[in-house]
Amino acid sequence: MKNYSLTVDEKKKVKEAYENQRMYNDWNFYDERKFIENLLQTRFNFLMAAFGVFLSIFGMSKNFASLQLVIVLFIGAITTYILGLTVFRLYEKLMILLKIMRVLGDLHVAPVTDDILNRICCRKSGVNHLIGVIIPKLIPFFLLALAIIVFVCFIMK
């Protein structure tokens, strides 16, 4: 897992940027976080829908040992891999934004909720890692494995 911590100089720049944003009532880190979270959720849902489409094609196939099914599953693996890259990129942006929120300290609620969660929970990994890293990496490999299995069945037929 990557370390998304900020240097002292970056923390100073973040606080200066936040004060600038507050002074000019411009787009701020909170608006950016909301936007990135909504975009991450939308792209993750789109990834799951694409995965569902290719999985449905596999399930509806009458001939499991066909070259056309191998091609469709391979295209599905490539498509979901590309969609997974967009989800992962947004996940990284969200993690950086959450670190920025923690740098703001008393200006944001994140440090307080983190302290409470660390005190009452023993697990420190969240759902963000599951949605942003694990699932987008597993889906293309699952479809690729299905394509390989179908191809082996096609050859042995």
Read off the pLDDT of residues 92-106 as tens digits, 9 standing for 90 and up. 999 888 888 777 765
Give 109's DSSP letter: S
CA gap 64, 141 in Å, rounded: 19
pTM exceeds 0.85, yes or no? no
Residue 2 lies in a domain: no
Give 6's DSSP letter: -
Q: Are 36 and 93 in contact (CB under 8 A)?
A: yes
Rounded (5°) CA angle 83-85-86: 70
Check residues 49 and 107 and name the one with the higher pLDDT. 49
Element (DSSP H or E) covering residue 58: helix 29-60
pLDDT at 147 over 90: yes
Residue 64 lies in a domain: yes
Give the range of the structural domain holding residue 71, as residue numbers without chain letter: 8-156
Mean of pLDDT values over 113-133:
72
Residue with tokens 């599953």: 73
Q: What is the pLDDT of residue 110?
A: 62
Count of domains for the chain: 1
* Biggest CA-to-CA distance, the chain: 71
Residue 1 lies in a domain: no
Residue 12 lies in a domain: yes
Best CA proximity match to 73, nearest among 147, 139, 141: 147
Mean of pLDDT values over 110-126:
64
Read off the pLDDT of residues 54-92 as tens digits, 9 standing for 90 and up. 999 998 988 777 889 999 999 999 999 999 999 999 999
Best CA proximity match to 46, nearest among 129, 146, 134, 135: 135
Token pair in block for residue 126: 């969240």
Residue 101 lies in a domain: yes
Residue 70 lies in a domain: yes
Residue 137 lies in a domain: yes
Residue 67 lies in a domain: yes
